[in-house]
Amino acid sequence: MNDTFLKACRGEKTAYTPIWMMRQAGRYLPEYQKVRGNVTFLELCKSPELCVEVTLQPVDLLGMDAAILFSDILILMEAMGAPLEFHEGSGPIFRQTIRDQAALDRLIVPDADEATGFVMETIRLLRQELQVPLIGFAGAPFTCATYLIEGGSSKVFWETKKMMYREPELFHNLMSKITDSTILYLQAQARAGAQALQLFDSWAGILAPCDFAEFALPYVQKILAALKQFDIPLIYFANNGATLLDLSVASGADVIGLDWRIPIGEAIKKVGNKAVQGNLDPFALLLPKDRLRERIGRLLEDAGNAHGHIFNLGHGIHQFTPPEQAKIAVDAVHELSSR
């Protein structure tokens, strides 16, 4: 069992810096495309055997030091009673948006083993196969709320901010319901065998720090506090979150995920005695081999003072990235960090 990733999360010494990549199972891999060619994305998410297969692909093909459960953050929103659609070439769609108390009242706080048993089954199957740790995950409440309120992806988040500022009570009620569901969902993942848990806050970066502190962070804190009992590493990743770092440190996470917009050394100073995960620009994978290795070497050096460093991209790997480039990065991290 390769437990380098878990050790780094706990700030323990490791023989080399572990690496995994957000969205490592996905469309950039021809092997994923092949599986996906026969089923829709949601069918894939609900088929444990296929989820196991695509979860293993980046570990086996590229040598990642951790696996991340193949699923989607919006699967839980669907289980709460919000019908979810994915169409080729466009993002997720919720036709029934949540913009008033009546719509919110129709959402439920589901029993995770009942409503998302396929996720727990995937985790149990993966644990029998994997030689590296398995990361479970969920969306952070603010990010999930934006999808429910907007009805899908957004650029300006008009409806979300309108609700936040004009109907704060409704907004907090929605956040509470997502939080309660997420706690049950992640507790079930931990019981099924997830060895670390990550909260993805993809849209936290659109918030002013004062609004993040008031409307988003308390719910992250509540979720992470409810997971402490499992004694597994908890990772909080706020995309575009460089200006929220001081607050994110108070989330209760053991590991702070970093996007690429902040030098890692600067972030490490703010994070103190917590581990960090990041933070190569996903598009830097397009650099020619020598320059990519150089860039990775510098990042590793700048992270030298971290109380634990897990190498990752600053956000998900882009779908048009050549898999060979991801492999160059994995090998470079392993070689250049070997001590």
Is the N-terminal amide bond of 173 cis, ω within 30° of 0?
no
Using CB under 6 A as the binding criterion, the count of chain residues that bind ligand CP3 stands at: 21
Structure tokens at 157: 């988040």
Using the rule CB under 6 A, give the single segment among 23-31, 156-164, 181-189, 264-272 that binds ligand CP3.
23-31
Active site residue 185: no
22 forms part of the interface with ligand CP3 (CB under 6 A): yes
Query: What's the CA gap between 50 and 121, in Å, rounded?
Result: 12
92 forms part of the interface with ligand CP3 (CB under 6 A): yes
Exactly one of 5, 70, 215, 311 binds ligand CP3 (CB under 6 A); which one? 70
Active site residue 291: no
Query: What's the CA gap between 135 and 149, in Å, rounded?
Result: 28
The minimum distance between CB 135 and ligand CP3, in angstroms, equals: 9
Of 20 and 293, the one with the shorter C-beta distance to ligand CP3 is 20
25 forms part of the interface with ligand CP3 (CB under 6 A): yes
Of 19 and 336, the one with the shorter C-beta distance to ligand CP3 is 19
Looking at 10, 16, 23, 295, which residue is catalytic? Answer: 23
336 forms part of the interface with ligand CP3 (CB under 6 A): no
Of 9 and 336, the one with the shorter C-beta distance to ligand CP3 is 9
Phi and psi angles of residue 299, each rounded to the nearest 5 degrees, phi first: -60, -45
Active site residue 27: yes
Q: Which residue do the tokens 């970066």 mark?
A: 205
Query: What's the CA gap between 27 and 32, in Å, rounded?
Result: 6
Exactly one of 10, 23, 172, 191 binds ligand CP3 (CB under 6 A); which one? 23
Active site residue 124: no
Exactly one of 18, 314, 316, 323 binds ligand CP3 (CB under 6 A); which one? 316
Instruction: Give the Cβ contact number of residue 162 at 10 Å.
Output: 13
Structure tokens at 277: 């995960």
Looking at 28, 65, 99, 147, which residue is catalytic? Answer: 147
Q: List, in sequence order, every beta strand (DSSP E) within the chain.
A: 67-68, 85-86, 92-93, 134-139, 196-201, 234-238, 255-257, 275-280, 309-313
Using the rule CB under 6 A, give the single segment among 22-30, 158-166, 181-189, 270-278 that binds ligand CP3.
22-30
Query: What's the CA gap between 246 and 243, in Å, rounded?
Result: 8
Q: Is 235 left (phi over 0), alpha (psi -120 to 50) or beta?
A: beta
Query: What's the CA gap between 282 and 311, in Å, rounded?
Result: 12
Looking at 72, 111, 211, 302, which residue is catalytic? Answer: 72
171 forms part of the interface with ligand CP3 (CB under 6 A): no
Active site residue 72: yes
Query: What's the CA gap between 297 and 11, in Å, rounded?
Result: 20
Q: Mask 270-309, x = binds ligand CP3 (CB under 6 A)?
A: ----------------------------------------
The minimum distance between CB 202 and ligand CP3, in angstroms, equals: 3
Using the rule CB under 6 A, give the single segment among 18-26, 93-101, 187-195, 300-308 that binds ligand CP3.
18-26
- How is 268-329 classified by DSSP, letter by letter? HHHH-SSEEEEEE-GGGGGS-HHHHHHHHHHHHHHTTT-SSEEEEESSPPPTT--HHHHHHH
The minimum distance between CB 121 and ligand CP3, in angstroms, equals: 16
Instruction: Give the Cβ contact number of residue 303 at 10 Å.
Output: 22
CB 143 within 8 A of CB 77: no
CB 156 within 8 A of CB 29: no
Residues in 214-253 at the binding interface with ligand CP3, rule: CB under 6 A: 239
Of 288 and 322, the one with the shorter C-beta distance to ligand CP3 is 322
Q: Which residue do the tokens 């970093």 mark?
A: 258
Residues binding ligand CP3 (CB under 6 A): 22-27, 36, 41, 68, 70, 72-74, 91-92, 137, 153, 200, 202, 239, 316
Residues designated catalytic: 23, 27, 36, 72, 147
